[in-house]
């Protein structure tokens, strides 16, 4: 049985990522009480006729249109139907689960006013792995993604059960539930806030964390193959620059390369190496620092109420606050920054791959090919890496600055947090491939070292044997993309924070 993550206070990004990958979600009694209390506030607001955005008014530019009490349930339903206009291929299982988990976390803060039975139905769908089909495109923020989730609750839309696509009504029936009839404010709350961005951010952070370790490993094996000068990674010179990420990357590289005979034999051969080799701790370390900042922003967002309006107070004295907490500027900026960092990690990896295959600088057979002329070796695989890095440059353009105006000038600034998360995940797809390409090239380079008697470092030798157990040396005898896909899948699911993990 899958582990259960209990939401009591605010979950962190690791909790959301664990649920995305299959852990069950539970609500503590305190969280359930907060949800009940918030609903009592909305019920009091409805009873008193206090004006509240999306409770008894229209939404967007229709915010000053007052909705009679007997039509407020219809407003909630209509919001889901009208906002369900996403397009494109559906999100995957992990992305969908991440968004649902972050949405439930937002409701559990107790300021949204969604009914307990509505939250319970969301939890039940998630834990049963009955997942709404969420079109991946067409959102400037969060509305279309979140509406696709809400549709299933009211028996509309579609859900995925394993390989089957069923109607929303069938999905609810699988849980033994009738489609919900939403009450006042629920329609708006179900499409509101930043859970789309925070959920996807948590998933991206989990993937990025693994790639930080693999990037150091890939750099180490390239560095060793190219006979670089490892004194640049010593603790004393690296300590002159203050960066936690630099220190961590430097320590990792020293661990990978300790006791390398290959490096010892080349010591003093050059004054200093090219930047793609010499600056690995500085570049990888800066990426690590950017990762830590994105973690802080994501956890802060998960601890925040991002519903508009929010409700506070007591049933006797309820308060409703129209504000802009659903605007995801903080998340968008952090995600844009992490996208650039991930693209940078891929860019320096591709440069190291080029040095491995380039006979003008490697000291190795041209393109790591088995023989001249008849064999092309890794020539075109480096092209693939260059193409993916170029694609990353396009994806890394800041979504935050895309702008746009919606809802008849009512929403006249857009921060595009969910699209920022989406393009970050695309960059991470490419980063995994680019690092796998570097690792493939480095393993081939080991097999072509001019002095086969010089031993690898013990840690890099373990990595060599790990990869060679998956894939033999290459002799133009099979399509390389199959090798790439196999290695990419293996590194994407394995923690390699240091050599001791292998």
**Taking the CA atoms of the chain, what radius of gyration do you get in angstroms?**
26
223 is catalytic: no
For 130, phi then psi, to 5°, come to -100, 105
Catalytic residue selected from 53, 223, 464, 474: 53
How many angstroms separate the Cα of 295 from the Cα of each of 178, 206, 208, 299, 388?
Answer: 39, 10, 11, 6, 26
| Spans of the chain below 50 pLDDT | 1
Half-sphere exposure of 79 (CA within 13 A, CB side): 33
Half-sphere exposure of 299 (CA within 13 A, CB side): 12
Q: Which residues contact 393 (CB under 8 A, 6 or more apart)?
A: 343
pLDDT at residue 408 in the model: 74
Helix then strand then coil, in percent of the chain rounded to 5, is 60, 10, 35
CB atoms within 10 A of CB 307: 27
- Residue 254: name the closest of 212, 220, 211 by CA: 220
Sign, CA dihedral 431-437-440-441, equals negative
- Dist. CA 114–CA 189, nearest whole Å: 7
Please name the residue that has the structure tokens 């206090």: 50
Which runs of consecutive H residues, i.e. helices, occur in 303-447? Answer: 329-357, 359-362, 379-395, 417-446
pLDDT at residue 56 in the model: 81
- Residue 338: name the closest of 281, 297, 303 by CA: 297
pLDDT at residue 1 in the model: 44
- Dist. CA 275–CA 140, nearest whole Å: 39
- Residue 379: name the closest of 265, 484, 253, 480 by CA: 480
- Dist. CA 184–CA 200, nearest whole Å: 28
What is the 8-class DSSP label of residue 306? -
Q: Which residues contact 364 (CB under 8 A, 6 or more apart)?
A: 225, 356, 445, 448, 449, 450
Specify burial of residue 366 (Cβ count, 10 A radius: 0-12, 13-18, 19+): middle
What is the 8-class DSSP label of residue 159? E
Specify burial of residue 287 (Cβ count, 10 A radius: 0-12, 13-18, 19+): buried
Q: Which residues contact 223 (CB under 8 A, 6 or more apart)?
A: 230, 253, 257, 263, 277, 280, 352
**Pairing between β-strand 130-132 and β-strand 87-90 as defined by DSSP bridges:** unpaired
3-state class of 68 per DSSP? coil
Contact in structure between 457 and 224 (CB atoms under 8 Å): yes
Half-sphere exposure of 471 (CA within 13 A, CB side): 29
Q: Which residues pair with 137 in a beta bridge?
A: 87
Specify burial of residue 89 (Cβ count, 10 A radius: 0-12, 13-18, 19+): exposed
**Pairing between β-strand 24-27 and β-strand 4-7 as defined by DSSP bridges:** parallel
Contact in structure between 132 and 141 (CB atoms under 8 Å): no
**Which domains occur in the chain, in start order?**
4-192 (1.10.275.10), 201-501 (1.20.200.10)
- Dist. CA 15–CA 76, nearest whole Å: 30
- Dist. CA 417–CA 194, nearest whole Å: 8
């Amino acid at each position: 049985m899958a582990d259960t993550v209990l939401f009591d206070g605010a979950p962190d990004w690791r909790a959301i990522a664990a649920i995305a990958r299959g852990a069950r979600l539970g609500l503590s009694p305190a969280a359930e009480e907060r949800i009940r209390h918030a609903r009592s506030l909305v019920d009091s607001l409805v009873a008193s006729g206090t004006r509240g955005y999306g409770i008894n008014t229209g939404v967007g530019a229709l915010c000053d249109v007052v909705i009679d009490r007997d039509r407020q349930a219809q407003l909630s339903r209509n919001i889901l139907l009208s906002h369900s206009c996403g397009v494109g291929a559906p999100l995957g299982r992990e992305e969908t689960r991440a968004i649902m988990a972050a949405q439930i976390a937002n409701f559990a803060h107790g300021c949204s006013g969604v009914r307990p039975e509505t939250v319970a139905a969301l939890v039940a769908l998630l834990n049963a792995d009955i997942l709404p089909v969420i079109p991946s495109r067409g959102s400037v923020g969060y509305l279309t993604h979140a509406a696709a989730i809400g549709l299933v609750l009211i028996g509309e839309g579609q859900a995925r059960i394993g390989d089957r696509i069923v109607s929303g009504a069938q999905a609810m029936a699988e849980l033994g539930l009738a489609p919900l009839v939403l009450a006042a404010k629920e329609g708006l709350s179900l499409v509101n806030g930043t859970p789309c961005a925070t959920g996807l951010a948590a998933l991206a952070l989990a993937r990025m964390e693994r790639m930080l370790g693999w990037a150091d490993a890939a750099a180490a094996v390239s560095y060793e193959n190219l006979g670089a000068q490892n004194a640049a990674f010593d603790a004393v010179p690296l300590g002159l620059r203050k960066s936690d990420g630099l220190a961590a990357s430097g320590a990792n590289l020293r661990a990978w390369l300790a006791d390398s005979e290959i490096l010892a034999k080349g010591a003093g051969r050059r004054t200093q190496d090219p930047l793609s080799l010499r600056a690995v701790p500085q570049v990888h370390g800066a990426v690590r620092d950017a990762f830590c900042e994105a973690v802080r922003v994501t956890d802060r967002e998960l601890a925040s109420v991002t519903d508009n309006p929010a409700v506070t107070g007591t049933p006797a004295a309820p308060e409703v606050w129209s504000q802009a907490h659903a605007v995801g500027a903080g998340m968008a900026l952090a995600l844009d920054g992490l996208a650039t960092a991930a693209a940078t990690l891929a860019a320096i990896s591709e440069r190291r791959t080029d040095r491995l295959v380039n006979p003008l600088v490697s000291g190795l057979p041209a393109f790591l090919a088995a023989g001249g002329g008849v064999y092309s070796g890794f020539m075109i695989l480096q092209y693939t890496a260059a193409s993916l890095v170029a694609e990353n440059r396009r994806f890394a353009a800041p979504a935050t600055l895309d702008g746009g105006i919606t809802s008849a000038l009512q929403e006249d600034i857009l921060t595009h947090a969910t699209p920022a998360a989406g393009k970050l995940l695309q960059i991470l797809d490419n980063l995994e491939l680019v690092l796998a390409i570097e690792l493939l090239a480095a393993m081939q380079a080991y097999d072509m070292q001019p002095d086969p008697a010089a031993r690898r470092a013990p840690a890099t030798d373990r990595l060599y044997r790990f990869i060679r157990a998956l894939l033999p040396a290459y002799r133009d005898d099979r399509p390389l993309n199959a090798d790439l896909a196999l290695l990419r899948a293996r590194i994407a699911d394995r923690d390699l924070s240091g050599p001791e993990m292998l």
